[in-house]
Amino acid sequence: MALDKDCLFCRIIAGEIPSAKVYEDEYVYAFKDIEPIAPVHYLFVPKDHICCAKKITAENSAAVAKIFEAISKTAEAENIESFRVINNCGEDAGQSVMHLHFHMVAGKKMGWGEQSLG
């Protein structure tokens, strides 16, 4: 797996920084967000370092499919009926960690529209 030693999420995947794991397979690692915005707030990341959604290509996009499979399995395993998946790409969208990640948020009624995005 291609890990970046300066990347926070690569270091979490490598176990150098502790995290509360919720799911893991060959391609995907998922853990609880350290500052949850909802009762359920997990981060799903590819084990291979991809900086952001803008850098998804034909060569690496299988990781994204694996992430959505992992999200589906987690929802099934934890009986989560309704959830939102969020990806922030780039500074204006609020991406703060430059390793592709999908937020899985659940456990509360969520609004829609610009206001709900903060």
- Residues designated as active site: 101
Cβ closer to ligand 5GP: 75 or 97?
97
Q: What is the DSSP string of 56-116?
A: --TTTTHHHHHHHHHHHHHHHHTT---EEEE---STTTT--SSS--EEEEESS----SGGG
Which residues ranging from 82 to 101 are in contact with ligand 5GP (CB under 6 A)? 88, 94-97
52: its two tokens: 């952001």
Site for ligand 5GP in 43-62 (CB under 6 A): 43
Q: Which of 28, 46, 99, 103 binds Zn ion (CB under 5 A)?
A: 99
> Could you tell which of ligand 5GP, Zn ion, none binds residue 49, using a CB distance below 5 to 8 A set by kind?
Zn ion
